[in-house]
Amino acid sequence: MLEIEIDGQKLEVPDGSTVMDAANRLGLHIPHFCYHKKLSIAANCRMCLVQVERAPKPLPACATPVTNGMKVQTHSEQAVTAQKGVMEFLLINHPLDCPICDQGGECQLQDLAVGYGASSSRYQEEKRVVMNKNLGPLISTDMTRCIHCTRCVRFGQEIAGVMELGMANRGEHSEIMTFVGHTVDSELSGNMIDLCPVGALTSKPFRYSARTWELSRRKTVSPHDSLGSNLIVQVKHDEVKRVLPLENEDVNECWISDRDRFSYEALNGEERLTKPMIKQNGQWLEVDWQTALEYAASSLRRVTDEHGAGKVGMLAAPYATVEELYLGAQLMRGLGGGSIDTRLRQSDFGLDGKLSGTPWLGMKIADVSKLNAALVVGSFLRKDHPLLAQRLRQAARRGTRVSALGVSGEDWLMTTHARVTVAPSQLAAELAGLVKAAADIRGVAAPAAAASASVSDAARRIAQSLIDDGARAIFLGAVVQQHAQAAGLHALAQELARLTGATLGYLGEGANSVGAAVVGAQTGLNPQQMFAGDLRACVLLHAEPELDAANPAAAVEALKRADTVIVMSPFKTGLDYADCLLPVSPFTETSGTFVSIEGRIQSFHAVVRPKGETRPAWKVLRVLGSMLELGGFRFDSSEQVRDEALSGATGWLPEYKLGNTASDVACATPAAVEGLQRVADFPIYRNDALARRAPALAATRDSAVPSARISTGTAQAAGLATAKRVRVRSAAGACELDLTLDDTVPASCVRVSAGWPQTAPLGALSGTLNVEAV
Amino acid sequence: MNAPENPQAILLAGLDGDNTWGIEHYIKRGGYSALRKILESGMTPEQIIAEVKKSDLRGRGGAGFPTGLKWSFMPRQFPMDKYVVCNSDEGEPGTFKDRDLLRYNPHLVIEGMAIAGYVMGCTRGYNYIHGEIFSLYQRFEEALAEARAAGFIGKNILGKGFDFDLFAHHGWGAYICGEETALLESIEGKKGQPRFKPPFPASHGLYGKPTTINNTETFAAIPWIINNGGEAFQALGKPNNGGTKIFSVSGHVNRPGVYEIPLGTPFSTLLEMCGGMRGGRKLKAVIPGGSSAPVLPGDIMMDCTMDYDSISKAGSMLGSGAVIVMDETTCMVKSLERLSYFYHEESCGQCTPCREGTGWLYRMVHRIEHGQGRPDDLDTLDNVASNIAGRTICALGDAAAFPVKSFIKHFRSEFEYHVEHKHCLVPVDVQREGSRIYVEHAAC
């Protein structure tokens, strides 16, 4: 510990602290621009110059290490003169037209200029003008305002893992820019807007639509991934204008992904459903709620009466709230045995009833940072879990050995210990190899399923990293969960965890997949059985099976066959198979609760009034339950629903409800597959109803029209090396796509993204595809 | 080199003739004997550092830091890679001493670096040579090939189990890469921008490893010290200012050029060696240590001796020993405009005061020179320069500020005359006459 005195206040700080750290601990504010607690120290803005006893000149607080007995003055004449001098330099070439700057009112330069700037400028020369840059659809630039703090550059290098912005040229000609002709495509790029202390980088969708002081700030939770990122939603005139991170060091730190940030555009979009609608004689009619609810209730009652509740099902998105799912489950149960599920993308349900609890991350999110080794199996990590990827990236920078076993060699923008990329059918063989390797290292006999597995060098490396001391974990991603051998792969991973001592965890999809399991929203028939069986009545809660089902083609077929399909969604969706549309609130317009993958219970309030005649889904379900005269719908508030659903738990789910240990599940055996196998991902902005409808996100490179991606070698072997456009056929259907050569795709595979109408005819997410040039 | 032999020279001695840069000529002059002496006598690094400390050798790049002390900072026992780097990125207006060292005596630098490598336990060295005179880089590469072939660098040097390899690296003309940490960034393949210190290169240098950076001339002095002893070297100069120093003299003298003289030699003697003032005109001002050193009026300068302490006492710096001599035909405003333009153009743009301030300084001086000065400009200039000095990451900010402050301090009346009369105190035809040599050159 070192002793330091700042402005007369003494304190002790740990070795290696800087003067800025010490001042922060004292709650003293030292003006700064380039310093950011999550970024490396640049010391280039020079705003934080302070007077240090015995130093001949002022020193930057952000970069000066504390020495024992150091005495610092932050407001002495020397310090303030230096700070004012720097402020003058920053302002000479900065436009002094705050009223027309989008950053006005939330600009660090503006704020500090009040304290450290002069009332008029001594600078009489011509000001510098810098050309604006096109950074893509999310970030707007006003580069003349840039003060070259390089926060955006460092963010890219250190947090996003890719240096998309850099400072080119020298001296006064220095400019922040991308590599010639490139845009900023990181899935975390929006954070650069927050980091930019001036109006150089601002939000393109938000640009000039409101002033910061007109906006009210309301807390909520992101519905997009299972992390449960904390958000600040900024609202004006009952419209969401902007979404910013709410700092929570244990969850999202001070970041959010672009999906969290920009999906709000969909909330105000034209696709919003604002009035209940009923289809009569093939025509959609807008009706009042009473009519719509009576129609829905009587349809459900009629089907139940005629066919039994076993033919009634509800499919909800994994980002429906705890309250919605609980009441949905009540409704299905009340009808006498209806089914409800949220796992539309899953195709193997062999783990149902065999797990020790609800599958979850296996640890706290914050503990991911403390891992010594991690193996991520079958995940499009950066796109599925942008912030968890970021956390692992930081951990990897500090020495965590992150390994990957998956079906795509896409760059995770972090140092990986070992990477194994194989066709989906080979995941079982590779996992078995890992199990064998672990057993060999431990000197015990490998389980029967892995006894004859071949062990690669990479497998040995990974197994060793999972055995070495320290915290270590195995995470199963979406590819495993959606795999046709999901249960068997789980069994293998569980063996690996047992042999290595690593914690087994799931990277769940959707903001509330854990909550859904806990409140019983996965009961009765599973989605596959519903679609394969004779489903007569179906309620869709936020879900869009035409894009989200494991087999969209089959799902749509089943829904078209049903007598009644009631869609509860904020959007006009399912028009060709539904007969009743009920406008329900998206996450911003309802109170609710999400349970994240770490079991964290986070409740939130509505941040805006429901749009048009939209109603919170939990209220709609409550009314439906009452109309159907079912018991258990007497709730006055969503809090009451939550308390009953979660048995009064707040803060965290009780640990006994969570568990990733399966019993009596056979390990998967490698399946021999002939032909090209499909690798299917859900692109980051095609992953849920909200993101799909956000125009700015739709304009990003991640939303590029899907193509058939194939490695160069496989293309040559298949005679497709020169093909530009191909016809892709599966057992279910066919579509025509552009062919892209992509060497991150494993051999004998073709990657065709799901979540797009263009590729929906192909049906199942796995299986073989026939690809021929057009 | 074909210059008159200078009896006082040690670094530039014996260079009269052809191909003095070749290894044969160098060995004939006694080259590589210091390296041989060390390896064969088993002189320990500690002994060598003690010798260098005794010599009072101070860094020849500009800062004048005692070399022996700098070498002793290196964690010799550090088990990983360590580097020794030579800074030959001589880019400051007025400096051209390393140019001649590298052009005529490159093996001296190689030998000095190899000894430094031996002392600090480095197995790898880099010589960063500026790219403007590309032939220097090419010649150094040739010298490296010769030294490698002769076994003076590489594996198992002179069969004594000492490994040291040396590489040349050239810049592309950015002045800032002469700043030692920017130079390291540049070698690493990054944009040449100074690093914030601490950590200093001795603990976190090239590729994050302990690194010692010295000037070309500093390394060149090492073999002589080894051969003749630190005390002998010290005795050449004066206390705290050991040895000889190469001065590059430019400006209004009859024979501008490179002169090696013992430290402590009176400026007047140096001026005589240069053949005196051109056309017998009066000495007006001298920048004694390269363009970043404060300017001194001629009369102050005539009382100085050429060493670190004397020049420092007079209010300037010996710097790299680039002596810029100005006679009475010089317009000080125009001179400052030229200097300020240089720093404006060469600022790396990383930190605020230098990026923004150098342009402001230049524009103000430019205005004054072009008859658009305002009465309060001089105070603003001085104040802006003060706001840059000492507030930047590296010394370029200081280098930009010192000339401005010193020009105004010593020649304020000339600036005031410019502002008031919208033209120069020195008539333009007199200025032209003073620079006649250049005009004539331009004509032919």
Counted across chains A and B, CB pairs separated by less than 8 A come out at 95
Query: Could A58 and B198 be called an inter-chain contact, meaning their C-beta atoms sit closer than 8 Å?
Result: no
A86 to chain B: closest CA residue: B353
Using 50 as the pLDDT threshold, list the residues of chain A that sit under it. none
Domain boundaries, chain B: 23-236, 244-327, 332-432
Pairing of strands A49-52, B265-266: unpaired
- At residue A231's C-alpha, the angle toward residues A225 and A233, to 5°, is 125
pLDDT score of B444: 39
B-chain residues near A42 (CB < 8 A): 196
Q: Which ipTM was obtained for this model?
A: 0.92
pLDDT score of B443: 43
A-chain residues near B350 (CB < 8 A): 44, 148, 167, 174
Q: For the residues B419-432, what does the mean pLDDT come to?
A: 90
Closest partner CB to A89 (pick from B174, B352, B380): B352
Query: Could B349 and A85 be called an inter-chain contact, meaning their C-beta atoms sit closer than 8 Å?
Result: no
B-chain residues near A49 (CB < 8 A): 391
- Summarize pLDDT for A260-314 with one digit per residue, the tens: 999 999 999 999 999 999 999 999 999 999 999 999 999 999 999 999 999 999 9
Q: Is the confidence at residue B440, as pLDDT, over 60?
A: no
Query: Could B387 and A147 be called an inter-chain contact, meaning their C-beta atoms sit closer than 8 Å?
Result: no
Interface of B with A (CB under 8 A): 174, 176, 191, 196, 198, 344-353, 355-360, 363-364, 367, 374, 380, 386-387, 390-393
Query: Could A44 and B198 be called an inter-chain contact, meaning their C-beta atoms sit closer than 8 Å?
Result: no
Residue B18's pLDDT band (cuts 50, 70, 90): confident
Q: For the residues B313-326, what does the mean pLDDT come to?
A: 94
Residue B17's pLDDT band (cuts 50, 70, 90): confident
Query: Could B391 and A57 be called an inter-chain contact, meaning their C-beta atoms sit closer than 8 Å?
Result: yes
Closest approach of chain B CAs to the CA of A34, in angstroms?
10
- Summarize pLDDT for A635-665 with one digit per residue, the tens: 999 999 999 999 999 999 999 999 999 999 9
Q: For chain B, how are helix, strand and coil distributed in percent, rounded to 5?
A: 50, 15, 35
Query: Could B353 and A86 be called an inter-chain contact, meaning their C-beta atoms sit closer than 8 Å?
Result: yes
Task: Report, in angstroms and rounded to the nearest whole number, the Rg of chain B calculated over CA atoms.
Answer: 22
Amino acid at B437: I
Closest approach of chain A CAs to the CA of B46, in angstroms?
30
Query: Could B391 and A85 be called an inter-chain contact, meaning their C-beta atoms sit closer than 8 Å?
Result: yes
Task: Report, in angstroms and rounded to the nearest whole number, the Rg of chain A calculated over CA atoms.
Answer: 28
Q: Is the confidence at residue B439, as pLDDT, over 60?
A: no
Can you give the three-state secondary structure of A567-591, one letter per residue? EEECECCCCCCCCEEEEECCHHHCC
Q: Does domain B332-432 have CATH number 1.10.10.10?
A: no
Q: Is the confidence at residue B387, as pLDDT, over 60?
A: yes
CA B399, distance to chain mean position in Å, is 13
pTM above 0.90, yes or no: yes
pLDDT score of B4: 55
Give the residue ranges of DSSP H helices in B58-196: 67-72, 97-104, 106-120, 134-149, 180-187
Closest approach of chain A CAs to the CA of B266, in angstroms?
31
Closest approach of chain B CAs to the CA of A86, in angstroms?
6
Scored b (16 or more CB within 10 A) or e, B199-237 reads eebbebbbeebbbbbbbbbbbbbbbbbbebebebbbbbb
Q: Which long-range contacts (CB under 8 A, 24 or more apart) does B435-443 make?
A: B435/B329, B437/B278
Inter-CA distances, B90 with A170, B86, B176, Å:
19, 11, 10
Amino acid at A355: L
Q: For the residues B307-311, what does the mean pLDDT come to?
A: 93
pLDDT score of A195: 97
Q: Is the confidence at residue B237, as pLDDT, over 50?
A: yes
Closest approach of chain B CAs to the CA of A659, in angstroms?
45
Query: Could B352 and A86 be called an inter-chain contact, meaning their C-beta atoms sit closer than 8 Å?
Result: yes
Inter-CA distances, B146 with A85, B110, B150, Å:
53, 11, 6
Domains of chain A: 2-91 (3.10.20.740), 93-203 (3.30.70.20), 277-338+513-586+615-628 (3.40.50.740), 365-506 (3.40.228.10), 676-773 (2.40.40.20)
Tell me: cis bond preceding A447? Omega within 30 of 0 counts: no
Query: Could B356 and A170 be called an inter-chain contact, meaning their C-beta atoms sit closer than 8 Å?
Result: no
B393 to chain A: closest CA residue: A44
Which CATH code for domain B23-236? 3.40.50.11540
Closest approach of chain A CAs to the CA of B281, in angstroms?
38
* Cα–Cα distance, B68 to B150 (Å, whole number): 28
Query: Could B351 and A88 be called an inter-chain contact, meaning their C-beta atoms sit closer than 8 Å?
Result: no
Residue B303's pLDDT band (cuts 50, 70, 90): very high
CATH topology of domain B244-327: Ubiquitin-like (UB roll) (3.10.20)
Query: Could B387 and A85 be called an inter-chain contact, meaning their C-beta atoms sit closer than 8 Å?
Result: yes
Q: Is the confidence at residue B6, as pLDDT, over 90?
A: no
B-chain residues near A167 (CB < 8 A): 191, 349-350
B-chain residues near A179 (CB < 8 A): none
- Summarize pLDDT for B174-219 with one digit per residue, the tens: 999 999 999 999 999 999 999 998 899 999 999 999 999 999 999 9
Closest partner CB to B346 (pick from A86, A89, A171): A171
Give the residue ranges of DSSP H helices in B279-395: 298-302, 308-313, 332-346, 352-369, 377-388
